[in-house]
Copies of this chain bind each other. A is one copy, B any other.
Amino acid sequence: MSYPEFGAGLWNFATYVDRYATDGYGPPRGTLEQIDLAAEVGDIGWVDLNFPFSDGVSVDDVKAKLAEHDIQAIGITPDIYLREHAKGAFTNPDPAKRASALAIMNEAADVVRELGAKYVKIWPGQDGFDYPFQVDYHELNRLAVEGMRDLASGHPDLKFVIEYKPREPRTHMFWGSAAKTILGIQQMGVDNVGVLLDFGHAMFGGESPAESAQMLIDAGLLWGMDVNDNYRGWDDDMMVGSLHLVEVFEFFHVLRRNGWEGVWNLDQFPFREDAVENAALSIRFLKAIHRALDALDDDGLAEAQSRQDALAAQRIVQDALLSSMAGER
C-alpha cells in the first residue's frame, strides 16, 4: 500500500502552558529536541516550524537537524501572537506593533527561502476583537487586507497561506472562516496568498470541512491543510479520528476527488499525552482513512450524491470506514 506523505506542525512535539497550568504541562523543549521527537514517530517527512526558533538555535542548526532525519520543512509559522502583539499583528492599532510584526514575518520569509519550505504560514491569532463596539470593522478589514498585501507583495517569489480560525485567543479572530478569507484574498489582488484549512478550525466554525475544502479548491486557494479533532465548540486540537471519523473521511474524499496532492499534516496539542505516541496513533488512523478511500465505492457514492441520497451514501461510507482497520492490528 502506498500512503500519502505525512507531516506535522513541530508544536505537536512541544509542551504547553495555558491560563491555569502556568508552569506548563511539562518541561520546555527546544526546537531541535522537538525535531528529534518528530523523527521518532517514523512516518513524518515534513514539519511546519515556529519562528523564531528556541533560544540559541540558528537556521543552520535546524537545517542540519532536519537533514539528519531526512525531514523537510513544509512551512514556517512566525510567532506574531506573543505579548508584543497581544492586541494584534496586522490589525494592531499601534503602527509600531504592526511594523514589528512585519519584521518578524519578513525574517520568517527568509527562513522559508533558506530551508526551501513551501510557504510562510500566517496565523494572526491576535488579530480581531473581543468586545462589541471595540473596533471599527471597516478599519479592521483595511488593516488586515492591506497588511497582508504588503507582506506578500514584498516576497513575490514565495507563497503565503492564511490559516483561518473563528476565535481563540481573541473572542473573534479576523480571519474567521473559509469564505471570509477568500473574500479578503480577493481584495488583496495578489497571486501568492492562499489558504491553509485546519480541519478542526472548520469544525469549530460550524463549517463542513469537506465543503470548505471544495470551496477553496474551486477558488484555487487550498494550498495546505492540517488535521486534528475537537468537540465542535472549541479548538481542542485532539487526536485526529478520536471523535469525527466520518467527517474527516469525507474531507479526504473531497481532496482525492479533486486530485489534491499534498502533505497530510497534523496540528495537535497533546497537553497530557505522549507526543510521539499521539502522532503515531494519528498517522495509524490516517492510514486507515487512506485504505478506506481506496476501498470506497466511488461510483456508487457518486450515484447516491447525484440523488442527494444520504442513506445510500452512508451505507457505502460505513462499508469502507468500518472495515479500514481489519487485519491491521
Interface positions of A (Cβ within 8 A of B): 16-26, 81-83, 86-88, 93, 125-126, 129-141, 166-169, 171-172, 177, 179-180, 182-183, 186, 205-206, 208, 210-211, 214-215, 218, 231-234, 236, 238-239, 241-247, 249-250, 253-254, 269, 271-274, 277-278, 281, 284-285, 288, 301-302, 304-311, 313-319, 321-327, 329
Contact = CB atoms under 8 A, between A and B. Distances in A.
Contact of A324 (B16, B136, B177, B322): B322
Contacts of A182: 179, 183
Contact of A232 (B26, B232, B247, B307): B232
A48 to B, nearest CB: 15
Given A86-B271, A136-B306, 15 more contacts: A20-B125, A20-B126, A86-B272, A129-B308, A131-B242, A133-B246, A133-B317, A138-B218, A167-B234, A172-B211, A183-B183, A243-B247, A274-B311, A321-B322, A322-B326
Name the residue in A83, A241, A254 with the highest tally of chain B Cβ atoms < 10 Å from its Cβ: A83
Contacts of A88: 308
